[in-house]
Amino acid sequence: MTVAAQALPGPFEFAPGTTALVVIDMQRDFLEPGGFGSMLGNDVSLLQAAVEPLQRVLAAARDLGMTVIHTREGHRPDMADCPPAKFARGEFIGTDSPKGRILIRGEYGHDFVDELAPAPGEIVLDKPGKGSFYATDLELMLRNRGITSLIVTGVTTEVCVHTTVREANDRGFECLVLEDCCGSYFPEFHEVALRMISAQGGIFGWVGSSADLLAALP
């Protein structure tokens, strides 16, 4: 079964059986007050708008039996996988917060927001960087399942979503980014990041909405 969802720069054609829904870093540390995002001085409420549409897309993907991957940015408790250059730029990684140590695996703030908790059988991918392919086994898992297309969602649009889409595009995966299922602390970066993806004939991929995706699904 092939589906065509309205998108830019043109329809995104994909088969649900060879497509993965990738939900990037919908973690308390990015979305809730008192975590990493707010310690960096950001208004974390800007990311909340992505939660509801993403819940709808997640439900549809589950109904179709699609591969679903949830990523989390974070580090080992001993921080041996945290580059000193990343730590040095004041990202507060490893420091105490009301939600536990910032961006450390196993801590409450590092985990997913309740509304988007993974279901049994879905893949949870821990990553030390912004991209989902760097220093992870994501590509191996996708190739093992015969996945050729990705529907990419999550936060933040211009950081971890963009890095992941660029990495995926270079590896030959076709990516549809759902604009209302992503979010940024900087609304103007969100807009421009999305335009960068679909410009030049879709230089990195396609951009569409959750409504257009859901309308195209069987």
Of 160, 165, 168, 175, which one interacts with ligand TIU (CB under 6 A)?
A: 160
DSSP 134-182: TTSSHHHHHHHTT--EEEEEEE-IIIIIHHHHHHHHHTT-EEEEEEEEE
Residue 155 lies near ligand TIU (rule: CB under 6 A): yes
Residue entry with tokens 């949830």: 70
∠217-170-157 over CA atoms, to 5°?
A: 60
Give whichever of 173 and 185 is closer to ligand TIU, judged by the CB atom.
185
Classify residue 84 as exposed, middle or buried by CB count within 10 Å of its CB (0-12, 13-18, 19+). Answer: exposed
- 29 catalytic, yes or no? no
Give whichever of 149 and 157 is closer to ligand TIU, judged by the CB atom.
157
- 25 catalytic, yes or no? yes
Residue 50 lies near ligand TIU (rule: CB under 6 A): no
Residue 156 lies near ligand TIU (rule: CB under 6 A): yes
**According to CB under 6 A, which residues from 97 to 136 bind ligand TIU?**
130
Who's near 172: CB < 8 A, 6+ residues apart? 148
Who's near 58: CB < 8 A, 6+ residues apart? 21, 23, 68, 116
**According to CB under 6 A, which residues from 4 to 43 bind ligand TIU?**
25, 30
What tokens appear for 139 in the block?
């590509």
Give whichever of 29 and 174 is closer to ligand TIU, judged by the CB atom.
29
> How many residues form the binding site for ligand TIU (CB under 6 A)?
9
Question: Stretches 43-51, 133-141, 153-161, 206-214: which one binds ligand TIU (CB under 6 A)?
Answer: 153-161
Query: Omega before 157 cis (within 30°)?
Result: no
- 127 catalytic, yes or no? yes
CA distance 122 to 141: 12
Question: Stretches 104-112, 138-146, 154-162, 206-214: which one binds ligand TIU (CB under 6 A)?
Answer: 154-162
Contacting residues toward ligand TIU, per CB under 6 A: 25, 30, 73, 130, 155-156, 159-160, 185
What are the residue numbers of the active site? Answer: 25, 127, 160
